[in-house]
Amino acid sequence: MQTWDLHATRVLEIGCGLALASLVIHRRLGDVTASDIHPLTEAFLHDNLQRNGLPPMKYRAGDWLHRGDAPGTFDLIIGSDVLYERNHPAQLAGFVAHHAAERAVVVIIDPDRGNRPAFSRLLDADGFSLTETRICGAGYRGRILKYRR
């Protein structure tokens, strides 16, 4: 996200955890909303914003079953290691389809937990095409999944 062109791009980070990617986008003055279902995420985010000298940032609870939690549609949806349970592909694909703009990009970092194929099939059915890049090195193995609609 350090080099992504953010001009006129609404960004949603799903399953943000400590919201590192959102903080990078926010520091670059991007229009970002961080989201996660964990009850302490918002407090962690406020602490991280303060520690980094950043102004308040948009946050919404990210319950993928309740699609209205994140406001509106987004041009770019990002997430890292969000497909780790068997039910996540269906939940997340529905959430993404609901919140993705008509011409959206979805970028998921996936450490190959085995749920990628189901997620990809569901997004394909919603009109997304996939470009995949393998990541190997520095102790990490996985893939960058980039879906475009």
Q: Under DSSP, is residue 110 helix (H, G, I), strand (E, B) or coil?
A: strand
pLDDT (tens digit, 9 = 90+) per residue, 36-91? 999 999 999 999 999 999 999 999 987 888 766 557 899 999 999 999 899 999 99
Task: Spell out the domain ranges in the chain.
Answer: 10-148
Per-chain mean pLDDT for the chain: 92
**Which run of H or of E encompasses 26?**
helix 20-27
Q: Quick one: pLDDT band at residue 145, thresholds 50, 70, 90? A: very high
pLDDT at 111 over 70: yes
CATH code, 10-148:
3.40.50.150
Question: Going by C-beta distance under 8 Å and a sequence separation of 6 or more, which residues neighbour residue 2?
Answer: 24, 28
Residue 59 and residue 42 in contact, taking contact as beta carbons nearer than 8 Å: yes
Share of the chain above pLDDT 90, in %: 77
**Predicted pLDDT of residue 67:** 65
Q: Are strands 100-110 and 31-36 parallel, antiparallel or unpaired?
A: unpaired
Share of the chain above pLDDT 70, in %: 97
**Predicted pLDDT of residue 68:** 60
**Predicted pLDDT of residue 122:** 96
**Predicted pLDDT of residue 102:** 94
**Predicted pLDDT of residue 64:** 83
Residue 85 and residue 54 in contact, taking contact as beta carbons nearer than 8 Å: no
Question: Going by C-beta distance under 8 Å and a sequence separation of 6 or more, which residues neighbour residue 53?
Answer: none
